[in-house]
Structure 1
Amino acid sequence: MAFTQERARAVLAAAGRPDAAADAELLALGENAVFAVDDLVIKVGRDSGLLERAEREVHTAGWLARQDVPAVRAARPRAELVDGHPVTYWHRLPAAVRPATAADLAALLRLVHALPRPDFSLPKRELLSGVERWLRLAGDAVDPADAAFLRHRRDAFAAEAAALRPHLAPGPIHGDALPRNVLVGPDGPVLMDLETFSGDLREHDLVVMALSRDRYGLDPAEYDAFAAVYGWDVREWDGCAVLRGARETASCAWVAQHAPGNPAALAEFRRRVASLREGDETVRWYPF
Structure 2
Amino acid sequence: MMQAFTEERARQVLAEAGLGASPADASLLTLGENAVFALETTVVKVGREHGLWERADRELRVATWLAEHDVPAVRPAEPKALLVAGHPVTVWHRLPPAVRAAGPADLAVLLRRVHALPEPPFALPRRELLGGVERWLRLAGDAIDPADAAYLRARKAGFADAADALVPHLTPGPLHGDALPRNVHITATGPVLVDLETFASDLREHDLVVMALTRDRYGLGADGYAQFASAYGWDVRQWEGCAVLRGARETASCAWVAQHTPGNPHALAEFRLRVASLREEDLSVRWSAL
Q: What is the TM-score with the length of structure 2 in the denominator?
A: 0.98
Q: Deviations over 1:236-287 (max 9, x none)?
A: 0000000000000000000011111100000000000000000111210010
Q: Which residue among 24, 27, 34 is the counterpart of 2:26?
A: 24
- Match of residue 217 from structure 1: 219
Residues 160 and 248, structure 2, Cα contact 8 Å, conserved in 1 = yes
User: CA separation in 1, counterparts of 2:40 and 2:268?
Assistant: 35
Q: Deviations over 1:21-66 (max 9, x none)?
A: 1220000000000000110000000011000000000000000000
- Establish whether residue 232 from structure 1 lines up as the match of residue 224 from structure 2: no
- Match of residue 58 from structure 2: 56
Residues 130 and 160, structure 2, Cα contact 8 Å, conserved in 1 = yes
User: CA separation in 2, counterparts of 1:84 and 1:114?
Assistant: 37
- Match of residue 70 from structure 1: 72
User: CA separation in 2, counterparts of 1:5 and 1:133?
Assistant: 20
Q: Which residue among 35, 38, 41 is the counterpart of 1:36?
A: 38
- Match of residue 82 from structure 1: 84
Amino-acid identity (%): 71
Secondary structure of the 1:249 match is helix
User: CA separation in 1, counterparts of 2:143 and 2:77?
Assistant: 38
Residues 218 and 289, structure 2, Cα contact 8 Å, conserved in 1 = yes
User: CA separation in 1, counterparts of 2:268 and 2:110?
Assistant: 34
State the AA in 2 paired with 1:130. G
State the AA in 2 paired with 1:265. A
Q: Which residue among 165, 168, 171 is the counterpart of 1:169?
A: 171
- Match of residue 260 from structure 1: 262
1:219 Cα deviation after fit: 1.1
Residues 21 and 39, structure 2, Cα contact 8 Å, conserved in 1 = no
Secondary structure of the 2:43 match is strand
CA-based RMSD of the aligned residues comes to: 0.7
- Match of residue 5 from structure 2: 3
Unaligned regions of 5+ residues in structure 1, if any?
none
State the AA in 2 paired with 1:77. P
Residues 12 and 18, structure 1, Cα contact 8 Å, conserved in 2 = no
- Match of residue 131 from structure 2: 129
User: CA separation in 2, counterparts of 1:252 and 1:141?
Assistant: 14
1:18 Cα deviation after fit: 7.0
1:77 Cα deviation after fit: 0.6
User: CA separation in 1, counterparts of 2:98 and 2:21?
Assistant: 27
Q: Which residue among 177, 180, 204 is the counterpart of 1:178?
A: 180
User: CA separation in 2, counterparts of 1:198 and 1:18?
Assistant: 33
- Match of residue 201 from structure 2: 199
- Match of residue 99 from structure 2: 97
- Match of residue 187 from structure 1: 189
Secondary structure of the 1:22 match is helix
Q: Deviations over 1:150-172 (max 9, x none)?
A: 00000000000011000000000
- Match of residue 154 from structure 2: 152
Residues 168 and 201, structure 1, Cα contact 8 Å, conserved in 2 = yes
User: CA separation in 2, counterparts of 1:269 and 1:209?
Assistant: 20
Residues 122 and 197, structure 1, Cα contact 8 Å, conserved in 2 = yes
May I ask how many residue pairs the two structures share in their alignment?
A: 288
1:19 Cα deviation after fit: 4.1
1:100 Cα deviation after fit: 0.3
Residues 172 and 200, structure 1, Cα contact 8 Å, conserved in 2 = yes
Residues 210 and 235, structure 1, Cα contact 8 Å, conserved in 2 = yes
State the AA in 1 paired with 2:46. V
Q: Which residue among 98, 112, 115 is the counterpart of 2:117?
A: 115
Secondary structure of the 1:183 match is strand
User: CA separation in 2, counterparts of 1:142 and 1:258?
Assistant: 10
User: CA separation in 2, counterparts of 1:185 and 1:256?
Assistant: 34
Q: What is the TM-score with the length of structure 1 in the denominator?
A: 0.99
Runs of 4+ with >3 A deviation? none
- Establish whether residue 15 from structure 1 lines up as the match of residue 29 from structure 2: no
